[in-house]
Amino acid sequence: MDALEQAVQVTFRFPVYFTTGVFTSANPVLHTLIAGASERLPSDTIAVVDDGVVRAHADVVAAFEGYCRDHSTAIRLAGPVLVLPGGEQVKNGLRYVDEVHRAIHDAALCRQSYVIAVGGGALLDAAGYAAATAHRGVRMIRIPTTVLAQDDSAVGVKNGVNAFGTKNYFGTFAPPFAVINDFSFLPTLADRDWRSGVSEAIKAALIKDAGFFADLEAWAPTIVARDARVMEQVVRRSAALHLAHIARGGDPFELGSSRPLDFGHWAAHKLELLTDHRLRHGETVGIGLALDCTYSWLSGWLPEADWRRILDLIQGIGLSVYAPELGEHLDQPDHPRSVLHGLEEFREHLGGRLTLLMLRSIGRPFEVHEVDRKVMIRSIDVLRRLEEARSVGSTAGLIDGLPRPQS
């Protein structure tokens, strides 16, 4: 057998900015970013904006158009601003991806042109997938407008849309050209979006930084009270942990079967579909974290004190640890509406053998490749009982009556 082998190395760099008032004329971030990186100026640009952002910030489209006019030496708006639905509906199938593709085509963008996407994580996913697949990659600038997008999804290197009843079945690994986190978008979020985005910060702390977890515990009351300065710290530190893992974790394009940043996500992804997206991604992540941490405790790996702290924090910021769909068809693990079927779907999505993270302590994860379904079902029952007790306002004596860890 004769073979030629080739190794290709490509270095990706992209900045993540933190600012306020990104489309204020005096704000230099977007102008400087484009003017300093383009061979030909002005650079052709189109914008895709989440309709939820438009409802909360009625002047956002006009502000962006005005910014382009004020910085016309660097930025040329090459087509009308495209306003698309926010939330998971924008990435359920290819309908809206096709709209972005059409806008890129009609604006005659090239690979050194820009798609600027403004919105939540789902909108950024759909627009990013379109940008990555037009001309094999048009430059993408993400301007995330939710806590979850700013502290997690927007700073990553993935795009995706849902298909065949599977989360992110279509997708690309395509680092953005830049990310601009504008904190001025966060105060208009609904309470559930403000709080649910913190679940990704909890996840990062659990697997990367016990000190950050302790800070989140201390900050929980002010997070609930919507303290903007505290939330800015949450976003910055969570984003930094995500970026550090992507840059130094050894597998940014997930060629292996281990995905530490998806701790708790096997159940979260399944629950999003089982609830028909009644639950936000961040809300299902909170449940997924609670489930895998409870499994770690019942398996004898995670100390009870740590387990209690984790569940207290998740519930303390106002997130549930259980949804009724979690308990469906547990006696039929291959049933498409059983959360346990999500284990195989997760393995298929990763490739290779099933690989999940569990915890030995806060900040000390480890990998497992098999799941004891009986223990997982017990874990689900524990969460059901905790949520029921919380709903009636009393957890007194509850822990003592729960199943105990394996010896």
Q: Is residue 166 part of a domain?
A: yes
Estimate to the nearest angstrom the gap between the alpha carbon of 293 and the chain centroid: 19
**Distance between CA 258 and CA 350 in Å, rounded?**
8
Asked whether residue 200 falls in the same domain as residue 323, the answer is yes
pLDDT of residue 401: 59
State the virtual CA torsion across 102, 108, 114, 118 in degrees, nearest 10.
-30
311 and 284 together in one domain: yes
From 159, 188, 217, give the residue that closes a domain: 188
Same domain (yes/no): 177, 280: no
165 and 207 fall within a common domain: no
Distance between CA 123 and CA 100 in Å, rounded? 11
Of 135, 170, 188, which residue constitutes the final position of a domain? 188
- Main-chain dihedrals φ then ψ at residue 214, nearest 5 degrees: -60, -40
Does a structural domain hold residue 128?
A: yes
Identify the DSSP state of 403.
P
DSSP state of 92: B
pTM above 0.85, yes or no: yes
- 351 and 243 in a common domain: yes
pLDDT 10s per residue in the chain (407 long)? 899 999 888 888 999 999 999 999 999 999 999 999 888 899 999 999 999 999 999 999 999 999 999 999 999 999 999 999 999 999 999 999 999 999 999 999 999 999 999 999 999 999 999 999 999 999 999 999 999 999 999 999 999 999 998 889 999 999 999 999 999 999 999 999 999 999 999 999 999 999 999 999 999 999 999 999 999 999 999 999 999 998 887 777 777 767 888 999 999 999 999 999 999 999 999 999 999 999 999 999 999 999 999 999 999 999 999 999 999 999 999 999 999 999 998 898 777 889 999 999 999 999 999 999 999 999 999 999 999 988 776 555 555 556 667 65
Helix axes 198-208, 228-248, angle to 10 degrees: 50
The CATH number given to whatever domain includes residue 363 is 1.20.1090.10
pLDDT the model gives residue 393:
66
Rounded to the nearest angstrom, the gap between the alpha carbon of residue 335 and the centroid of all alpha carbons in its chain is 27
Query: In this structure, is residue 2 part of a structural domain?
Result: no
Q: Domain for residue 9, yes or no?
A: no
The whole-number pLDDT of residue 351 equals: 79
**221 and 175 belong to one structural domain:** no
| Residue 3 forms part of a structural domain | no
Domain boundary among 150, 166, 188: 188
SS3 46: strand
Q: Total domain count for the chain?
A: 2
5 inside domain: no
CATH number where 55 lies: 3.40.50.1970
Instruction: Let me know whether 164 and 298 are in one domain.
Output: no
Which domain range does residue 52 map to?
16-188
The number of CA neighbours under 13 Å toward the Cβ of 284 is 23
Question: Per the domain annotation, does 405 fall within a domain?
Answer: no
